[in-house]
Amino acid sequence: MRCSLLSSLYFAILFSLPVEAAVSTSSPPPSSATATRKDNVCDVLVPRLPNVKTRLCLNAELQPTQGKSVQGRVIFSRDITAANPQLRILVVGGIHGDEKSSGSLVLHWIQHANETPSNALWRFIPVLNPDGLLAKPARRMNANGVDLNRNFPTPQWAKEAKFYWETRTRRDPRRWPGPKPLSEPESRFLHNELDSFKPDLIVSIHAPYGLLDYDGPSAPPPKLGRLFLDQVGIFPGSLGNYAGVNRGVPVVTIELPNALLTPTDAEMRQMWLDLLRWVNERVKPSAATTQPSRIE
């Protein structure tokens, strides 16, 4: 029992350290380095995400990025590419730390992408807000109390985000947009990903409204699995508003029905297949696709 507790503490501390401390940069044998990174992040994620077993997490082969949270935790991702990708697609979960099912769905979709990558280079970020996920209890905001999905630099942010927060939400602390756009390291990391990865499509996963939202050009998907299109409006500082409306990158926002429980495995697979079908029919590359430098 004592060894088990010490092991858990050891992994938790490693996960909370910057990537340079958690992962050696002295080029150890590849198999050893990969196993260390997997074990660290999975030891932390598996107990906190619903319907995620250790094997599923390990098989996802998550890799550390340069992104870090307010408290210095590493943001992990995984790239999966088809042989000749025509599109770049970014899938993001865990923007809100208490919407745990969103991170789980991303890990299940990594498994499906390994089996059916379609014609795309996929970049998966299961948990953008690790501080929110690891808080006790888990919370929507990051460690600075900022709602990351209100922190992106939409036009007139200073005026509109303030008005929305003060008037529409009555200063709800769960929806504080922060002191200025991109004030948070997590939102800055994702903003940089948009500039460097240049996605043709963004899939942003949330909970618990049980619907699909959509921002941007082209025709939205009518449904993914049992979730149907029901556009809920535009919010100042949201990723859909910033990327979809202002940058013209289609953003599919998935609102799972439950923040603490995933859909069934079969339903998550059907959602994946429906997404692939719509992508093949509707999503077009915005520019010549080139392989980004960071591909695992």
pLDDT digits (tens, 9 = 90+) for 176-232: 999 999 999 999 999 999 999 999 999 999 999 999 999 999 899 999 999 999 998
What pLDDT is stored for residue 163 in this prediction?
96
Kindly give, in sequence order, each residue whose CB lies less than 8 Å from that of residue 17, ignoring residues fewer than 6 positions away. 72, 74
For residues 163 and 29, which has the higher predicted lDDT (pLDDT)? 163
Asked whether the beta carbons of 242 and 292 are under 8 A apart, the reply is no
Partners of residue 118 on adjacent β-strands = none
Q: pLDDT of 5-53, one tens digit each?
A: 444 444 344 444 433 333 322 333 333 333 334 448 999 999 999 999 9
CA distances to 98, 198, 219 from 278, in Å:
29, 20, 9
Q: Which helix (H) or strand (E) holds 124?
A: strand 120-125
Q: pLDDT of 112-152, one tens digit each?
A: 999 986 899 999 999 999 999 999 999 999 999 999 999 99
Instruction: Give pTM, 2 decimals.
Output: 0.85
Q: What tokens appear for 249 in the block? A: 């990158």
What pLDDT is stored for residue 232 in this prediction?
86
**Mean pLDDT computed over 233-262:** 97
Measured in degrees and rounded to the nearest 5, phi and psi for residue 76 equal -105, 155
What pLDDT is stored for residue 118 in this prediction?
85
Kindly give, in sequence order, each residue whose CB lies less than 8 Å from that of residue 186, ignoring residues fewer than 6 positions away. 67, 69, 70, 75, 128, 129, 142, 148
What pLDDT is stored for residue 287 in this prediction?
59
Distance CA 149, CA 253 (A): 12
What pLDDT is stored for residue 7 in this prediction?
42
Question: Which is it for the CA torsion 85, 279, 192, 31, positive or negative?
Answer: negative
